[in-house]
Structure 1
Amino acid sequence: MSIKLPGRNTLPTVSAKPLPARRDRLLPVAYAGGMLAIGAALLVAKPKFGHVPQPNRMGDGPRLSRWRRAAQRGRDGVQTFAPANVTDSIGRSLMLGGVALLLARALDEIAGRDGQ
């Protein structure tokens, strides 16, 4: 009598059952709701760890060198686009993504199934 043990080259079989139709349809809505909730929480909470210090640490006085004056003007120009709190940017992105996912799911439901 011999016992057959699985070898190294055998993989376990996984049944590929499709997800139930109801769960498949509601899962994107749950993801979108989570994205909206986390994004709103980040915007409201404004955690301290996301605060970015101002880039003008060396002062705003005039510089003698041309290159330093150009760097100072460039720094001031770019500063307008830099976020003051990184978590605000992440929160806004999560909320936009959540709204887009909800909108795509709603339009998918309006479009209906194939052949109908």
Structure 2
Amino acid sequence: MIPNSVQAALPGARNNRLAPVIYAGGMLAAGLALLIAKPGIGRVPEARQAKDAPGDQRVRRAAQAGRDAAHHFAPTNVTDSIGRSLVIGGAALLLTRLLDEASGRNDR
């Protein structure tokens, strides 16, 4: 139970104030689970799985050049990127909510 002095200083119902904390915890848990588990479904295959077919076609060479260029900045595991984003977002939400609670009501 929240003391009356704290309850009077902070706006909103208790459920409205705790929901972002619970949501942030879920984001952190899901993100950490993805980072630790590294599921194979999110693995990005190598750009060159088979030999490049010889060809004179400009379109084929342009496609191969684009594929090779994209490979340099593509993630090796998409779930790592999603997990990292969830962890950062959850931490930011939790920090924002905690700072909001610490700041109290603005209209005193």
TM class by shorter-chain length? Answer: 0.7 to 0.9
State how far apart, in whole Å, the 2-side matches of 1:28 and 1:73 are. 45
Max radius of gyration: which structure? Answer: 1
Say whether 1:25 aligns with 2:17. yes
Select the structure that is richer in helix: 2
Provide structure 1 residue ranges, at least 5 long, that are not aligned to the other structure. 1-19
State how far apart, in whole Å, the 2-side matches of 1:49 and 1:91 are. 14
Provide structure 2 residue ranges, at least 5 long, that are not aligned to the other structure. 1-11
Indicate the larger mover: 89-98 or 48-57: 48-57
1:45 maps to 37
Give the ranges of 4+ consecutive aligned residues of structure 1 lying more than 6 Å apart after TM superposition: none
State how far apart, in whole Å, the 2-side matches of 1:63 and 1:92 are. 41
Say whether 1:67 aligns with 2:59. yes
2:93 maps to 101
The answer to whether the 8 A contact 1:51-1:85 is kept is yes
Under a length normalisation based on structure 1, what TM-score does the superposition of the two structures give? 0.68
Higher RCO structure, 1 or 2 (CA under 8 Å, sep 6+): 2
Number of residue pairs aligned between Structure 1 and Structure 2: 97
State how far apart, in whole Å, the 2-side matches of 1:111 and 1:62 are. 66
Question: For residues 22 and 63 of structure 1, do their structure 2 counterparts lie closer, same or farther at Cα, with a shift above 3 Å needed?
Answer: same
